[in-house]
């Protein structure tokens, strides 16, 4: 098998970085962020593997797999799930931990501890 890869997805930035990394690793990598026209823009004989990103619909995947397989029966397909960035993941975690509007967060166990001001009845040592 040759090393000709076509990455199909939605994010230009992610696809460009992926193609650059693959090229540096010795692959002939191309990409498109337009799954609807990928089979018209790229010839199946010029590609050995098609990698689909998470932004490609299942209908587009099925259609592209059929189109490319007809022109190249040895074609390989990969569903690549791009990792989420830590920043995006932390935002989702915070959003999930917030109470829904109109609902109050219930506390399990003892109520939360709050800071207290010094008691007015506290005595201070004075010198005589």
Q: Quickly state the pLDDT bin for 63 (edges 50, 70, 90).
A: very high
- Cβ neighbours around 39 below 10 Å, total: 20
Domain count, the chain: 1
Taking only the tens place, the pLDDT of each residue in 9-48 is 999 999 999 999 999 999 999 999 999 999 999 999 999 9
DSSP string, 99-116: PPTT--PPPPSSPPP---
Domain that holds residue 35: 4-79
CATH number for the domain including 55? 3.40.50
Paired with 77 in beta bridges are: 50
Q: With residue 71 as reference, give the H or E element that holds it.
A: helix 58-71
93 domain residue, yes or no: no
The answer to whether position 42 is within a domain reads: yes
- Which residues, at least 6 apart from 76, have a Cβ–Cβ distance to it below 8 Å? 1, 48, 49, 50
């Amino acid at each position: 098998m040759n090393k000709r890869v076509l990455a199909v997805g939605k994010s230009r930035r992610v696809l460009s970085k992926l193609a650059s990394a693959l090229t540096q690793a010795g692959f002939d990598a191309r990409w498109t962020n337009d799954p609807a026209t990928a089979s018209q823009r790229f010839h199946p004989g010029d590609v050995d593997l098609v990698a689909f990103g998470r932004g490609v619909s299942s209908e587009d995947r099925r259609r592209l797999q059929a189109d490319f397989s007809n022109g190249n029966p040895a074609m390989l397909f990969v569903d690549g799930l791009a990792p989420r960035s830590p920043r995006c993941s932390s935002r989702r975690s915070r959003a999930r931990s917030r109470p829904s509007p109109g609902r109050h967060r219930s506390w399990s166990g003892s109520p939360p501890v709050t800071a207290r001001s010094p008691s007015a009845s506290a005595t201070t040592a004075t010198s005589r």
